[in-house]
Amino acid sequence: MSGRIGDDTLETIRERTDIVTLVSSYLSLKRSVVNHFGLCPFHNEKSPSFNVNEARQTYHCFGCGEGGDVFAFLMKMEGLTFPEAARRLAEQAGLEIAEEQADPQAEQRRREKERLWRINAVARDYYQQVLLRNPEGKPGRDYLKRRGYDGDTARAFDLGYAPSGWEGLAGHLKEQGFDFEEVRTLGLVRPSRDGRGDYDLFRERLVFPIYDLTGEVAAFGARVLGEGQPKYLNSPESPVYHKGRQFYGLHRGREAMRRQGEVLVVEGYFDVIALQRAGIENVVATCGTAMTEEHARLLKRYVRKVLFLFDQDKAGLQATWKGMAQILPLGLAGAVVHLPQGDDPDSFLQREGAQAFQACLEGARPVIEVYQEQLLGEAGDDFGARARCIEEILRTLLLLPGEIERDLYLQDLASRSGIERELLKSQLAELAAKEARLRERRSAEPRREAQQATAPSASPEREIPHPVASYATARPVVQAAQVTNPQRKAQRLLLKVLMLHEEYHPRAREAGLENLFADQDFFTLAELLLRVGSEAFATALDTAELDDPVRQLALELLDLDPQAVGDGHAKIFNDCLRDGEFRQIRQRLKDLQSLIDRAEREGDDEARINYQREKTALNKRLK
């Protein structure tokens, strides 16, 4: 193939290829405090001068001067061209090379990104101008002052303020002559429903620019200053922004992360600013999402250890466990930092100072240790609950790549749980064997997952749940493709009814959400709503694990005029309940027809007659 390999593809190959692992496949390396050393493969030497820097993902020989990244190393070792080395590494990483033909499309994509970055930069400057100099920015200045932040901090972190008007930024970008299709692509504005033009996404919010590793503004996060909801609103994904690969604060903190070999992952933008302002620079925050595998791979380029500092409520613990599940398979150490109850990094720093906070960091406990303690504490003395939680912990130990570390935690679990170590070891081996069979099956049947999307699996063996599965609510799968537009409209109104009238929540639970909401998106939101209540629903959206379309649907429903429901809430609820009952009946009729056909084939006249009677009775209910 003669096409050009795209920059995004090359970056993905770099992220998926660990230089220490690659070099170790050719020569023996020994670890020092920070780097790895070995005998240079490119010249004869007796003392090791070949240095591999895991944080920077580079190598350098102090003897002969050879150096570079993973591509350069493989090219030198194997005598390959750059495209050949890239393809070899992609194959080892399980990636398909998406090559760009030598045509104008690649250049067009590059230029599009540059235009989008330019729009974001102009938007950043607009928001900052409003915050620092315009009368409309006074609410933002007052808010920062109350929290102890001055203009210097605002300038250092490029903070801005989105004023209350509907078209402030939209008008500014029009004056600059930008293409509004591209402005909409970035999510900075949205078209109005009545066709009167575009309106600003962010209004009456403090704005935080989110930078990528190249120093370009990829997106924005915005915090409401009053009582509005949601508390935080983020830019949607775009050609220059992917929230599952982006950290807030990484562009400022990565050098400190490299130096110290560890990173502190916190919840919010203000946490990052407070810590970096206090001189604790190796800190980042995810952008409104749980940590992903891509997040973890990105951190591995800079650090060997990840410290988690989230709230100690259920949502915070869930975020910690999910982060743990991403970093452990990559060989990263994990620890949990605890602050006094009710404190966040900002409040703690202002009261106790940076030295006291550093002491909290030094007292961080291994994440698996905290995980074991939490689960066993929740299980209490209930034997069944303890057995389930021990199995969850064993699944988590499988994430550890090193057998010695795994065995040490197994001993710790035996001590904490009172279960014999050999019994735990046997159960762990059984789970490991089961996972190995699953991996082998996936390798032999690469299309298995696609087939399962359209048909249920006949295999009795199921994949081992995620280690945070005990915190996820099991729910029935709703076939959204079977939902008609009128049904979707009715369910939209029903969800608004449940937001406005909590008195319907008990009836909704009794009826069963799967019967009221045939559409999976509405079902997901209804489940969250009934779990947290109407008052806390908007706030819960900030931490809930939701796909972007579902989150957007929730925001639209929050903005929906209550007059859309009016006084007809009882009728809306009853109509949806009746629709759910009819849907159940129709499904049962399909099942009955299959049962009747089978009874006829088997000559079971009694069963056939009973099924036929039930079918007749159900058909009458539909009339």
pLDDT at residue 442, rounded to an integer: 61
Residue 367: Cβ within 10 Å count: 23
Instruction: Look at residue 466 and tell me whether its pLDDT is greater than 70.
Output: no
Query: Are both 96 and 120 inside the same structural domain?
Result: no
Q: Pick the last residue of a domain from 430, 446, 464.
A: 430
| 552-564 mean pLDDT | 79
- Indicate the pLDDT class of residue 582, thresholds 50, 70 and 90: confident
Residues 485 and 606 in one domain: yes
382 and 358 in a common domain = no
For residues 384 and 340, state if they share a domain. Answer: no
Select from 241, 258, 280 the last residue of a domain: 241
Identify the bridge partners of residue 100 per DSSP, sorted by sequence position. 4
Q: In this predicted model, what pLDDT tens digit does every residue of 360-405 receive, in sequence order? A: 999 999 999 999 999 999 989 888 888 889 999 999 999 998 888 8
- Statement to judge: residues 287 and 235 lie in one domain: no
Look up residue 329 and give its two tokens.
Answer: 């398979």
Look at residue 263 and give its three-state secondary structure: strand
- What per-residue confidence (pLDDT) applies to 105? 67
Does one domain contain both 492 and 575?
yes
The gap from C-alpha 260 to its chain's centroid, in whole angstroms, comes to 25
* CA distance linking residue 497 with residue 502, whole number of Å: 8
Tell me: do 493 and 622 sit in the same domain: yes
459 in a domain, yes or no?
no
**Which of 317-321, 406-410, 487-491 is predicted least confidently?**
487-491
DSSP code of residue 133: H
Residues in the chain: 623
CATH number, domain of 144, equals: 3.90.980.10
User: What three-state secondary structure class fits 347?
Assistant: helix
Burial class (CB in 10 A: 0-12, 13-18, 19+), 320: buried
Let me know if residue 139 belongs to a domain: yes
SS3 367: helix
- Across 481-508, average pLDDT: 76
Give 227-247 pLDDT, tens digit per residue: 777 888 999 889 999 888 899
Domain membership flag for residue 623: yes
Say what the pLDDT of residue 106 is. Answer: 58
Helix boundaries (H) for 310-459: 314-327, 345-352, 354-362, 367-379, 383-397, 403-417, 421-444, 448-452
How would you classify residue 165: left for phi > 0, otherwise alpha for psi between -120 and 50, otherwise beta? Answer: beta
In this structure, are 253 and 295 located in the same domain? Answer: yes
Q: Are residues 485 and 589 in the same domain?
A: yes
Question: Contact, 306 vs 340, CB < 8 A?
Answer: no
Q: What percent of the chain has pLDDT over 70?
A: 89
Read off the pLDDT of residues 187-219 as tens digits, 9 standing for 90 and up: 999 888 777 788 999 999 999 999 988 788 999
**Per-residue pLDDT at 226 exceeds 70:** yes
More reliable by pLDDT, 434 or 155: 155
Number of domains in the chain: 5
Query: What CATH number corresponds to the domain at position 15?
Result: 3.90.580.10
Closest CA to 70 of 25, 14, 109: 14
Say if residue 512 is in the same domain as residue 555: yes
Q: Are residues 491 and 596 in the same domain?
A: yes
**Domain residues for 68?**
4-100
CATH code for the domain in which residue 300 is found: 3.40.1360.10
Task: Report yes or no on 49 lying in a domain.
Answer: yes
Residue 482 has pLDDT above 50, yes or no: no
453 inside domain: no
pLDDT of residue 308: 97
What percent of the residues of the chain are helix, what percent strand, and what percent coil, each to the nearest 5? 55, 10, 30
Residue 115 shares a structural domain with residue 79: no
State which of 48, 73, 100 marks the end of a domain: 100
Residue 277 pLDDT exceeds 50: yes
Crossing angle (nearest 10°) for helices 403-417 and 421-444: 130
Residue 463 has pLDDT above 60, yes or no: no
Instruction: Taking residues 530-553, report their average pLDDT.
Output: 77
319 assigned to some structural domain: yes
Q: Which H or E element spans position 206?
A: strand 205-211
300: in domain: yes
HSE of 558, CA atoms in CB hemisphere, 13 A: 20
Mean predicted lDDT score pLDDT of the chain? 83
Is 22 domain-assigned? Answer: yes
- Pair of tokens at residue 571: 């009728």
